[in-house]
Amino acid sequence: GILQHPDGTVLKQLQPPPRGPREQDFYNKVYDSDCCDSVLLELREYLPKYFGVWSPPTAPNDMYLKLEDVTRKFNKPCIMDVKIGQKSYDPYASAEKIQQQVSKYPLMEEIGFLVLGMRVYHVSSDSYETQNQHYGRSLTKETVKDGIAKFFHNGYCLRKDAVAASIQKIEKILEWFEGQKQLNFYASSLLFVYEGSCQATTVRFSDVALAEKRGMPKGLLSGGDILEYNNNIHVINSTENGKIEASVAKGLSKFYALHKKAYSKRHHSQLSLKVESLEQGNMWKSSTCITQEHLNGNVIPQLEKVFCHMPAEIKESANVEVRMIDFAHVFPSNTRDEGYIYGLKNLIKVLKNILDN
């Protein structure tokens, strides 16, 4: 699995040959200080930063890749690992290996991607829900959209801002693939991370209807903060006892702050919404404080509306990362990586369907 270094980076143990040395060579090539290849220089934008190899003093023969922790800047990171491509085996795989990989997920060739795992923070219960690769392999053509939508649902509503921002970032990676013929990627993944806690989102209240109340979705998970991960997502105990804070950041000429205290994860909650306006427009012109206690099954309408119906022009500002990871099966090529391109296009199509519906 992935380990954390005290300096804030993460350590990925080098796999046995030829996979480990191949991945190390890939990173060394892309991050070579003398690199002047524009294709590789642009590729750096879509990878975790690479800081060379590292060995613990007590075991100098154990080699680790030292990489940027993409989740580090997030308070409540929601993480999903999606394998991309029509083939999860490389051109040098044995017939046995090919059969093994195909039997694991026969739809890989048709769909072009596979969900390997996810962890989603639910604001409603202050807890994480996790799914492993068995969940991803259970998805069919008919259920894959709902299966991925689950990653973007925070217990109150679908985080359309995070979906939209993810689409934009994948489209940039797709542009890179469509313009290069140097490398082909097999069994490589995209790592998705977005901020699960309700903070730092600019909202025009003229576009947000605060009055509508909705029933709280049933069957929300609570507890369960010890998490199971795929090899790319490590175990974190991240449930906090106390309060969930949501701050709606300063935007335009207005400042809005939204705070929710959770006195109990399941039964009691209080919402205080303070709206301060400074000048102009058809925004609110007063300072208001609304408090609701013991909601008894009613979802907090302010919170839901803010994060479910944000104006389109600010969705791209959502705190989201999409990075390429896992490069043990990357090979030189003189053709476009059509399998990876196919998977990216299909994944974008699914995400757009989630957004539209």
Same structural domain, 96 and 49: no
Same domain? 50 vs 182? no
Predicted local distance difference test score (pLDDT) of residue 244: 30
pLDDT at site 357 = 84
Q: What tens digit of pLDDT does each residue of 186-242 get?
A: 999 999 999 999 754 433 333 333 333 343 343 333 333 333 333 343 333 333 333
Helix axes 160-178, 338-356, angle to 10 degrees: 160
C-alpha to C-alpha distance for 110 and 345, rounded to whole angstroms:
12
- Does any domain span residue 264? no
The verdict on residue 56 lying in a domain is yes
The residue from 69, 97, 116 where one domain ends is 69
CA distance 117 to 237: 17
Q: Which residue has the higher pLDDT, 310 or 328?
A: 328
pLDDT tens readout for residues 8-38: 999 999 999 999 999 999 999 999 999 999 9
Residues 52-89 pLDDT 10s: 999 999 999 999 999 999 999 999 999 999 999 999 99
Compute, in degrees rounded to 10, the torsion defined by CA atoms 193, 194, 196, 200: 150
- The answer to whether residues 184 and 162 belong to one domain is yes
Give yes or no: residues 155 and 105 share one domain.
yes
Task: Indicate the number of domains in the chain.
Answer: 2
Domain end among 48, 69, 90: 69
Instruction: Name the residue range of residue 154's domain.
Output: 70-198+317-356
Residue 8 lies in a domain: yes
